[in-house]
Structure 1
Amino acid sequence: MRHSDEFSLRFVLGIVPMPELFDINVARVQMTLCAISYVKGTGSDKTRPNPCDIEAELAKTGYATGGQWSLVWGPAYSAFDDNMMYLVQQDNTSNIAIVIRGTEAVDIKSWCEDVPKGMSDVSGYTHKQATLVSDEFADAISHLAQAVPVGSDDDRTLGAILDKLASKMVLSVIVTGHSQGGGLAPIMGAWIADRLAAQKAHVKVYAFAPPTPGNTEFASWVANALEAFHVANPHDLVPFGYARIGSVITDKVPVEVPEFVSIDGVPFPLRLGIDTADLAVKAIADLNDTSWAPAGTSHLLPAVAAPTDLDYLQQVDAQHNYNSYLYLLGAPQTDVGTKSPLEVRGVA
């Protein structure tokens, strides 16, 4: 374990003082907002919740959000890859959060977005020529910037609503997401920080279980320009991609990786697949004369083993589950989806 990772784990466990910038209570609220983004729609399309579906979850006082956050804009869906985001504001404050949903399990387009095929320049809003991110993530942010809410007459984009809010108050903005949404969050944070630079808005990023969004230069820019936090469960496979995907085998994440797993009854050579993915993402970086790197200050959560009667893929799901992240953060779990299997084991 690297020294920085060990320190992050030690402060989460209460062994050393918590750094001033990272706020565990903020993290609990933001992770709750991320979990809410996965709520199923009550309309004909279950993958596309309407405003009322989001509002019903925000109203629940038993969550870390405490019923104190209101939907201001969204949910909005990108036309090309079905990413979803919404904007909320904490009651009677200038605190807002932009929440980006993670991979939609039943959408092949959403899954394809998780596989990088190249790197794209984002220097237009990071002001550094060498900053590169995943092609698919760059496209997703571009599409989200053009998205408008569904289920309402509001035809404003995220930029338009941010401009309106920023004209009335000095905003404190947090961009957050879980999984794929966590990978997108630092890129969206960079875009928003550039857009609101003249308004002196304070922009932070809380990314949970994020895959690596871009290269070392992008990570360096994020570290210098934003307060960004890369929050990961050490047993979660997803944060190992793309920068350390090969380490999943040697580090036994979340448990020893089998040679084969069964997917819908068809055997898949898992170890070979991981090795191939590792070679592919390294080749992409080599072609761009750079390397992948996580964006944001790393914070590891406590390591909790899942029940041993779960097979490998169930173990992966248990450790990546958004309610598992809430459990590891010491926050109430949501009614969205299934409860965390980790709860039966307790903190190791």
Structure 2
Amino acid sequence: MSEAVSSPLVPPVSDAVLMTLAGIAYGAPGSIATYLAQDTLTADDWRVVWLAAPPDPPDNFAFIAYSERTKTYAIAIRGTYPNPFSPAYWDDGDEDSPFGDMVEWPAARGAKISAGTSKGLTNLLALTDQAGVTLQDAVGRLPAGSRLAVTGHSLGGTLAPVLALSIVQRSPALDVYVSSFAGMTPGNTAFAALFGSGSPLEGRVRRVYNTLDTVAYGWNAVWATHDFYQPAPKGGPLVAAMLLATAARLELGGYHYAPIGTPVALTGKVQPIVIGCELVAYVIENLHQHMPDTYLSLLGAPPLPFSIVLASVVMPRANPVAATQPLSARPPVVHLA
């Protein structure tokens, strides 16, 4: 994961703040403004200017906030809905999948994105606020020359550069850049080239990843994760077989997934093992390395103002139960079918 992009933009908003915004997108939609006011990195500066109000729970969710200090708008895209008992979780899982027919990007010969990514982009653009204004229209109404950051974590990180490309093609007068976190590769090599030399987003995409986050290696480097977590925990033969099968299917299927943007590596650290079953310990380690709070910690930022208990229930950190539970964004998914 050592790609390079020439003359990368130094963003006016730090990765720590943008990761905070991406993490807050996992929270209860009606409390987004409260979370912005509570978090030490966004308080007294960032305010909501557009908030999606789709059915609850939505398959995809985003909000737009504005920083008076940096004169920057930001679109924060939620990752996979973190409740496995909800249909939205499984719908998002389909968006995470790299398999199936790929979708051609308009007016770009050979450039393709996964069907799941295409569905996610369509859903995002069609989100509406309480007044019926879509995300696409809200962005179109921003003043010419406005600075706009697009950010997201996990599935949100996958969708962030895709949404940004859609925006610059529709609204070329906007000053757009991207910071994605823990995202997967949305499209093939020809699609990645749309962010390269001579493109409107050349040097404007930062792909931030934890070096021990297996999700961030999908779908161009799946097998590279097979020897993670030295000296332990190991996933064993079952995990190795699943990873090998996934990597082989991607290769034989000719998907040619390619990463986008300037890679920004955050050096992950393995947790002490606290459970006897090594396979369970491996899954727990996968979850930990992918969490928004883990990314915030690696960026030197405080945790989010809420916790996601048992991967489903958002509650304030002041709640005594939340203080004892790990923050979970989504379990890692290895797609075999």
TM-score (norm 2): 0.80
Instruction: Find the aligned partners of 1:188 and 1:136 in 2 and give their Cα distance.
Output: 13
Partner of 1:334: 304
What are the residue-to-residue correspondences of 1:214-225 with 2, within 5 Å? Answer: 214-224=187-197, 225=199
* Residues 77 and 144, structure 1, Cα contact 8 Å, conserved in 2: no
How far has the Cα of 1:37 moved from its partner? 0.8
Q: Verify: 1:282 aligned to 2:247, yes or no.
A: no
Partner of 1:193: 168
1:143–1:303 CA distance, 2 compared to 1 (3 A): closer
SS at match of 2:222: coil
How far has the Cα of 1:76 moved from its partner? 4.4
SS at match of 2:120: helix
Partner of 1:265: none
How far has the Cα of 1:270 moved from its partner? 2.5
SS at match of 1:59: helix
Q: Any idea what the Cα deviations from partners look like across 1:86-118, whole Å, max 9, x if unmatched?
A: 111112664111111011122221222211223
Partner of 2:181: 208
Instruction: Find the aligned partners of 1:201 and 1:187 in 2 and give their Cα distance.
Output: 16
Q: Verify: 1:142 aligned to 2:148, yes or no.
A: no
SS at match of 2:73: strand
* Residues 98 and 173, structure 1, Cα contact 8 Å, conserved in 2: yes
Q: Any idea what the Cα deviations from partners look like across 1:50-91, whole Å, max 9, x if unmatched?
A: 2xx0000011252x2233111111134489971111111112
Select 2:34's aligned residue among 56, 59, 64. Answer: 56
Q: Any idea what the Cα deviations from partners look like across 1:39-59, whole Å, max 9, x if unmatched?
A: 1x3xxxxxxx22xx0000011
Q: Verify: 1:33 aligned to 2:33, yes or no.
A: no
Q: Which amino acid aligns with 1:35?
A: G
How far has the Cα of 1:128 moved from its partner? 2.3
Partner of 2:289: 319
How far has the Cα of 1:161 moved from its partner? 1.1
* Residues 13 and 70, structure 2, Cα contact 8 Å, conserved in 1: no
* Residues 32 and 334, structure 1, Cα contact 8 Å, conserved in 2: yes
Q: Verify: 1:242 aligned to 2:219, yes or no.
A: yes
Instruction: Find the aligned partners of 2:19 and 2:146 in 1 and give their Cα distance.
Output: 20
How far has the Cα of 1:255 moved from its partner? 4.7
How far has the Cα of 1:23 moved from its partner? 4.6
* Residues 105 and 113, structure 2, Cα contact 8 Å, conserved in 1: no
Instruction: Find the aligned partners of 2:119 and 2:230 in 1 and give their Cα distance.
Output: 30
Q: Any idea what the Cα deviations from partners look like across 1:230-250, whole Å, max 9, x if unmatched?
A: 101001110111111112114
Q: Verify: 1:296 aligned to 2:271, yes or no.
A: no
Instruction: Find the aligned partners of 1:186 and 1:333 in 2 and give their Cα distance.
Output: 25
Partner of 2:318: none
1:79–1:135 CA distance, 2 compared to 1 (3 A): farther
1:170–1:60 CA distance, 2 compared to 1 (3 A): same
Partner of 1:157: 134
Instruction: Find the aligned partners of 1:337 and 1:279 in 2 and give their Cα distance.
Output: 37
Gaps (5+ residues) in structure 2?
84-88, 276-280, 309-322, 328-337
Instruction: Find the aligned partners of 2:298 and 2:252 in 1 and give their Cα distance.
Output: 35
Instruction: Find the aligned partners of 1:131 and 1:323 in 2 and give their Cα distance.
Output: 34
Instruction: Find the aligned partners of 2:222 and 2:233 in 1 and give their Cα distance.
Output: 14
Partner of 1:14: none
1:20–1:270 CA distance, 2 compared to 1 (3 A): closer
SS at match of 1:210: coil
Q: Which amino acid aligns with 2:243?
A: I
1:119–1:205 CA distance, 2 compared to 1 (3 A): farther
Partner of 2:93: 111
Q: Which amino acid aligns with 2:296?
A: L
Give % identity.
28
Instruction: Find the aligned partners of 1:212 and 1:68 in 2 and give their Cα distance.
Output: 32
Q: Which amino acid aligns with 2:273?
A: T
TM-score (norm 1): 0.77
How far has the Cα of 1:129 moved from its partner? 1.2
Instruction: Find the aligned partners of 1:298 and 1:174 in 2 and give their Cα distance.
Output: 17
